[in-house]
Amino acid sequence: MRLLLFVVLSAWLPLIIGQGALIPEEAGAFIDAMADFFLSKGFKDGVDLIQAIPSSDMSDFADLFSSSMTFLFPRLVPNATLTALLNDTEKIFDVLAYHILDIPLGDHNIPVSPNHTVLPSALNDTAAVLLPPGQRQSLVLTTYPDGSIHVLDQSTDINITSQSTFSIFNVSYGYAVVDELLTAPLGLNDTLKAQNITAFTSNPDIATAINSIGSQSGITLFVPEDAGVVSDIASWTHLNQTSINSIVDSHLIDSILYSNALVGQHSSAAGGQLSFSGSTISLAGGSSANIVKTDVLTDNGVVHIIDKVLLSNPLSSSSGGSSSGSSSSGVRAVALTCSTVVLTTAMTAFILSLLV
Ligand SMILES: *[C@@H]1O[C@H](CO)[C@@H](O)[C@H](O)[C@H]1NC(C)=O
Ligand SMILES: *[C@@H]1O[C@H](CO)[C@@H](O)[C@H](O)[C@H]1NC(C)=O
Ligand SMILES: *[C@@H]1O[C@H](CO)[C@@H](O)[C@H](O)[C@H]1NC(C)=O
Ligand SMILES: *[C@@H]1O[C@H](CO)[C@@H](O)[C@H](O)[C@H]1NC(C)=O
Ligand SMILES: *[C@@H]1O[C@H](CO)[C@@H](O)[C@H](O)[C@H]1NC(C)=O
Ligand SMILES: *[C@@H]1O[C@H](CO)[C@@H](O)[C@H](O)[C@H]1NC(C)=O
Ligand SMILES: *[C@@H]1O[C@H](CO)[C@@H](O)[C@H](O)[C@H]1NC(C)=O
Ligand SMILES: *[C@@H]1O[C@H](CO)[C@@H](O)[C@H](O)[C@H]1NC(C)=O
Ligand SMILES: *[C@@H]1O[C@H](CO)[C@@H](O)[C@H](O)[C@H]1NC(C)=O
């Protein structure tokens, strides 16, 4: 029955693919042909997923394919993941949409590590990503010195093991085999944990601020690595949530800026100007930091890791370990920290009272 449908459809399908939504039978025949192809190449796990796509998602899935995309086909799907997806097939569409790269990979020059490129996938389901309307979730690719292409921001090192094309009803599509099923970017909390960022969020008020940023759609957050906050974090216990929020907001931009957009000036969510020059980020009237790692993707935007906290007062330039005596360092730390928020007369008086 299915074979007959396949044969009948194959006569006129080429006219239809790429010209609007497919009816479920057309999409089903397209998906069957794709499954046959990848099975013939010996890939079982990925084929299991394709064949389990619910019929309600088949047309949308087939519609993602065009001659200018690349299907990142997973060689292996970890058993637990495969079992979970086959038991919850509604999730398969989004998982596979993240494997569809919106460019022909073969034509693209992927830069050599540590340089990399950010490329859009087909994943734009608002139930799976917290991005501004119409924006697709991205992937970060880099080429290792041995010439192999790797997908960054994954929990394991995943490379592309081969690239080729497959043909369905005389239309040719590009594919690349990724060694393992890819995981779309996680929420902000989990992303920071995966990057071993623990010091910045060890302050409960900062953790609260970060948790709230994690639910905003379309953000760029500069996060200091652990070594960059040791001199600040202890003193911040004295600050209230409002003051902490203003520190965190100096590290936040309310839109998505991947590394190639980190040039010129951008307003922070706290209202100050952030300027970019090479790998340096500077807060107007405040301190600077080096950007040590870019394009760590989250479900709601992107994180760039910096080596120091951005503080909004010139006093901050003496922060970070130049304290002369151990007995005064605690007091200094409080003073410097308060300087990161707008200095009110009352605060100034308070700080002076501590210093005398
Ligand atoms: C994964 O599943 C396959 C097939 O069901 C089975 O043969 C294999 O032993 C499983 N591997 C692990 C590590 O559970
Ligand atoms: C399958 O899903 C159902 C509900 O969605 C859940 O109760 C059950 O534990 C799942 N089974 C496995 C093996 O994951
Ligand atoms: C990375 O890009 C920079 C700027 O374009 C360039 O100077 C550098 O040589 C590149 N590094 C590698 C390893 O290609
Ligand atoms: C997602 O992309 C598809 C294909 O381009 C498009 O039809 C759909 O409207 C998009 N959905 C959202 C929520 O932007
Ligand atoms: C690609 O990944 C596979 C599996 O992890 C690994 O065996 C292989 O060495 C990797 N190749 C390169 C060039 O990194
Ligand atoms: C595919 O192309 C070949 C040769 O160009 C042609 O003979 C055949 O009928 C085509 N098949 C379909 C399904 O269009
Ligand atoms: C985080 O720390 C673990 C354990 O030290 C290490 O294996 C992993 O590579 C680190 N991750 C990153 C992104 O640095
Ligand atoms: C993020 O972490 C904070 C503090 O650890 C926690 O309260 C919050 O529930 C987490 N949010 C999510 C979405 O996991
Ligand atoms: C938080 O602390 C700042 C500086 O000490 C103070 O000006 C502000 O009123 C405080 N806000 C709240 C809500 O307590």
Report the pLDDT value the prediction gives residue 322, as an integer from 0 to 100: 33
Ligand 9 mutation target, pool 236, 238, 243, 344, most atoms within 8 A of CB:
243
Residue ranges of domains in the chain, CATH in brackets: 2-178 (2.30.180), 188-355 (2.30.180.10)
Report the pLDDT value the prediction gives residue 335, as an integer from 0 to 100: 32
Is the CB of 20 within 6 Å of ligand 4?
no
The yes-or-no verdict on residue 20 having pLDDT over 90 is no
In this prediction, residue 21 has a pLDDT band, given cuts at 50, 70 and 90, of low
- pLDDT tens-digit readout, 267-301: 999 999 999 999 999 999 999 999 999 999 999 99
Ligand 6, atom 5: nearest CA belongs to which residue? Answer: 170
Predicted TM-score (pTM) of the model is: 0.83
Ligand 3, atom 2: nearest CA belongs to which residue? Answer: 115
**Tokens 């970019």 correspond to what residue?**
276
Ligand 6, atom 8: nearest CA belongs to which residue? Answer: 170
Distance 341 CA to ligand 9 centre (A): 10
Distance 170 CA to ligand 6 centre (A): 6
In this prediction, residue 129 has a pLDDT band, given cuts at 50, 70 and 90, of very high
The yes-or-no verdict on residue 10 having pLDDT over 50 is no
The bound ligand whose nearest atom lies closest to the alpha carbon of 349 is 9
Distance 75 CA to ligand 5 centre (A): 12
Give the C-alpha separation, 208 to 222, whole Å: 16
Task: HSE, CB side, 13 Å, CA atoms: give it for residue 307.
Answer: 8
Distance 98 CA to ligand 1 centre (A): 25
138 token code pair: 């991205």
Is the CB of 79 within 6 Å of ligand 2?
no
- DSSP β-bridge partners for residue 117: 141
The bound ligand whose nearest atom lies closest to the alpha carbon of 89 is 2
Ligand 8 mutation target, pool 205, 211, 213, most atoms within 8 A of CB:
211
Q: Which residues line ligand 3 (CB under 6 A)?
A: 111-112, 115
